[in-house]
Structure 1
Amino acid sequence: MRRALIALGIGLGVFGSAVVSGPAQAANVLVVPLARTVSAAQEVARFWLADGAANLKNATPYAVRTAVGGERLPTDIVPDGPPMLIAPGRGPASPEGSMPTTSGKVFFIGSDLQPHWCTGTAVQSPYRNVVATAGHCLLDIEAPAGPLAKWVFVPGYSEGAAPFGLYVGKQAEAHYDFDDIRDHDRDYAFVNVYNGVVFSAPDVLTNVGKLGDNVGGQGLAINQPLAPAADVFGHPAGPNPDGSRPYTGETLERSTGPMFATKVTGLRMDRPIGVDSPFTGEGSLGSSWLIRYADDSRTGYLNGITISAADTDGDGRYDTGVSPYFDGELYEVFKQAAYQWTGGIA
């Protein structure tokens, strides 16, 4: 379903003003409550951090809608409005050659009542509290009864460690068409997280500050031509169709390749896009596709987000990541998330 883009008027450096004035909620934006109170958020944080972060360590990659049939197309995508760029925000300096600190894992409880994870990334916003991921890493599409439970983001996650803290989701913004009719052209979500926390002593939560202050935030690119090169950052972990398992999911991986139009089977999508990437679907759901990525600043512009993977040449290995095209309707959802304040829980 296509709706007219409303209230554009955004360009490079749009968040430069010191005055933050939130927009009225757009008609196609779904606001999803998560841990809406401080006490609820504290309970979620303790669930993941207790017993030496046992639930983080025991979580498994989310394996819902991780693979589709796919075909690469020679055509291009027609934007639905003018191109827009939101500039990234740099975080603290990190060692040369390191991976972006904005990437990490989102953890939640699935409909099987077990802990799982996808990939997520911090995105620049006025309150520095927005995480982007796949829509079905937020909304439970196996048992459609609302959001996946106990949702948190851990940037820089590695083997149970939360080097920049754990960030509990307060609420999220998604597209009504994904929730209502499972339109995977709208399979994306932006989550507002509280300030990060760590355990400073057993069961004692300590505030470590805003997400964007700690790790920075990637920019956002809307209505762009398909890029000749995009860098994909994610935590792939599942097997290829041939049974091989090239990734463990424990470390952040990077792949670089061109973007292109695709045709997929198995998902309701009118205009999916693809990126040349060997990432398996499990674990990489929610991976960021960054265009104009700079190694020195470790920042770029988010222009795609993995919702599935495809083997387009039939060799038994995944070669394509699949994403919705980032158009004006995605910007409406992001804009609603960008102006939501959250605060701390400790």
Structure 2
Amino acid sequence: MTPSLARSLLAPLAAAVLAATMAGAPASAAPAPRADPPAEVVRHSAEESPSESLAYWTEERMAAARPITRVLEGATGGLLPQSPPDASPEGEPRPQSSAVTGKRWTGGGKVAQATGRVFLTMGGRDFTCTASVVPSDNGDTVVTAGHCLKDGTGDWASKWVFVPGYDDGEAPYGRFAARELLVTSQWSRRADDSHDFGAAVLEAREGRHVRQATGAQRIAFTGKGAGTVHAFGYPSRSPYDGRHLYYCSGPTRPDDGGTTAHGMACDMTEGSSGGPWLSGFDPSTGTGTVVSVVSFKYAGRDGVQYGPVLGSSERAVYDRARAL
């Protein structure tokens, strides 16, 4: 990838790493296309109380929160405020969207319960992302993109709140504040686009865990491509407004831009960052297996979104989070 090719991220991707395993199943080794350092997890405890985080997010602040945009030009950059709707981060007109347009999900089921909108503060600004509930010992673990938790090598998010089943301002299953944030060491130490993955551990509300309220989607760490998936999220940049859950579906293919991520045709915009890619999705029940999360787009290629391959580094984050 040349320095002139900027990337506008919905959120970066994960590594083509070893361990193949589904949550709750034993791991089996698989050859990796490149060697990664031993999996490490970087963890951050919330500095504010759950009540402080929940109180911060008034209806007005939630409505004003902007999706995260990250711009790279050959080197790691920081999180920047959202660009104007009709311009790229460089101020140039955005290209036409792909013919694969995100559709509003109206089928209900588990995906409408366990997928939710995230609200967070980072660098003094209010942002929004997407996350999904997954199985855990604590009943309070959600997965999302690393950049929805930490600004690469920079700041951690604060006032991190998950609203499962969010729909046009409604919170049918309640709102849950994060008590722990975790990302891959590759994301924390060098903003590695191939490992843009993380997890948040939520605080139970009045003794009720988020998984009890919403159920959870399975998750797998195969170290391989995602295949054909349904990708869900709350896109918040025009022509979307973040009020409803949307999805795209189709095959995925390896990134040709220098990461180990895979991409799929989809015009969903920022705000869907961290949303689940579900393999084996059953529209009648809204169930599937999380095999990636929405991560980033390349500037000038708005019609393709990318997500990390979930391997050993991502598995380490999940294993640590679900036991906290």
- Fold conserved between structures, TM > 0.5: yes
Is 1:289–2:301 an aligned residue pair? Answer: no
Q: Match for residue 129 of structure 2?
A: 118
Tell me how far apart the structure 1 counterparts of residues 119 and 289 of structure 2 sit (CA, whole Å): 24
Give the residue type in structure 2 aligned to 1:148: A
After superposition, the Cα gap between the structure-2 partners of 1:259 and 1:130, relative to the gap in structure 1 and judged at 3 Å, is same
Pick aligned residue for 1:140 from 148, 151, 155 = 151
Tell me how far apart the structure 2 counterparts of residues 217 and 59 of structure 1 sit (CA, whole Å): 26
Pick aligned residue for 1:183 from 189, 192, 212 = 192
Is 1:54–2:54 an aligned residue pair? Answer: no
Tell me how far apart the structure 2 counterparts of residues 171 and 114 of structure 1 sit (CA, whole Å): 20
> Which residues of 2 match residues 1-346 of structure 1 at below 5 A?
13-14=24-25, 28-35=40-47, 40-49=49-58, 53-65=59-71, 97=108, 100-111=112-123, 113-141=124-152, 144-196=153-205, 207=206, 209-223=208-222, 225-238=224-237, 245-264=238-257, 270-280=259-269, 282-310=270-298, 318-340=302-324
Tell me how far apart the structure 2 counterparts of residues 283 and 192 of structure 1 sit (CA, whole Å): 20
Find the residue that maps to 1:101 and give its secondary structure.
Answer: helix
Check conservation: 1:35, 1:41, Cα contact below 8 A.
no
Tell me how far apart the structure 2 counterparts of residues 35 and 124 of structure 1 sit (CA, whole Å): 25
Tell me how far apart the structure 1 counterparts of residues 254 and 20 of structure 2 sit (CA, whole Å): 27
Check conservation: 2:169, 2:243, Cα contact below 8 A.
no
Q: C-alpha displacement at 1:187, in angstroms?
A: 0.8
Q: C-alpha displacement at 1:228, in angstroms?
A: 4.0
Check conservation: 2:15, 2:309, Cα contact below 8 A.
no
After superposition, the Cα gap between the structure-2 partners of 1:12 and 1:191, relative to the gap in structure 1 and judged at 3 Å, is closer
Tell me how far apart the structure 2 counterparts of residues 62 and 220 of structure 1 sit (CA, whole Å): 25
Aligned length: 268
Q: Match for residue 78 of structure 2?
A: none
Find the residue that maps to 1:160 and give its secondary structure.
Answer: coil
Tell me how far apart the structure 1 counterparts of residues 203 and 277 of structure 2 sit (CA, whole Å): 24
Find the residue that maps to 2:194 and give its secondary structure.
Answer: helix
The structure having more radius of gyration, on CA atoms, is 1
After superposition, the Cα gap between the structure-2 partners of 1:4 and 1:259, relative to the gap in structure 1 and judged at 3 Å, is closer
Check conservation: 2:163, 2:171, Cα contact below 8 A.
yes
Q: C-alpha displacement at 1:10, in angstroms?
A: 5.7
Give the residue type in structure 1 aligned to 2:307: S
Runs of 5+ unmatched residues, structure 2: 1-13, 27-37, 72-81, 83-87, 90-105
After superposition, the Cα gap between the structure-2 partners of 1:274 and 1:13, relative to the gap in structure 1 and judged at 3 Å, is same
After superposition, the Cα gap between the structure-2 partners of 1:180 and 1:211, relative to the gap in structure 1 and judged at 3 Å, is same
Runs of 5+ unmatched residues, structure 1: 16-25, 69-94, 197-206, 239-244, 341-346
Tell me how far apart the structure 2 counterparts of residues 270 and 262 of structure 1 sit (CA, whole Å): 6
Find the residue that maps to 2:127 and give its secondary structure.
Answer: strand
Find the residue that maps to 1:284 and give its secondary structure.
Answer: coil
Find the residue that maps to 2:201 and give its secondary structure.
Answer: strand
After superposition, the Cα gap between the structure-2 partners of 1:10 and 1:136, relative to the gap in structure 1 and judged at 3 Å, is closer
After superposition, the Cα gap between the structure-2 partners of 1:288 and 1:11, relative to the gap in structure 1 and judged at 3 Å, is closer
Tell me how far apart the structure 2 counterparts of residues 287 and 9 of structure 1 sit (CA, whole Å): 21
After superposition, the Cα gap between the structure-2 partners of 1:172 and 1:293, relative to the gap in structure 1 and judged at 3 Å, is same
Check conservation: 1:124, 1:219, Cα contact below 8 A.
yes
Q: C-alpha displacement at 1:105, in angstroms?
A: 1.0
Q: Deviations over 1:288-328 (max 9, x none)?
A: 100011123211111111111247xx6xx622111111112
After superposition, the Cα gap between the structure-2 partners of 1:297 and 1:208, relative to the gap in structure 1 and judged at 3 Å, is farther
Tell me how far apart the structure 2 counterparts of residues 150 and 324 of structure 1 sit (CA, whole Å): 25
After superposition, the Cα gap between the structure-2 partners of 1:56 and 1:223, relative to the gap in structure 1 and judged at 3 Å, is same
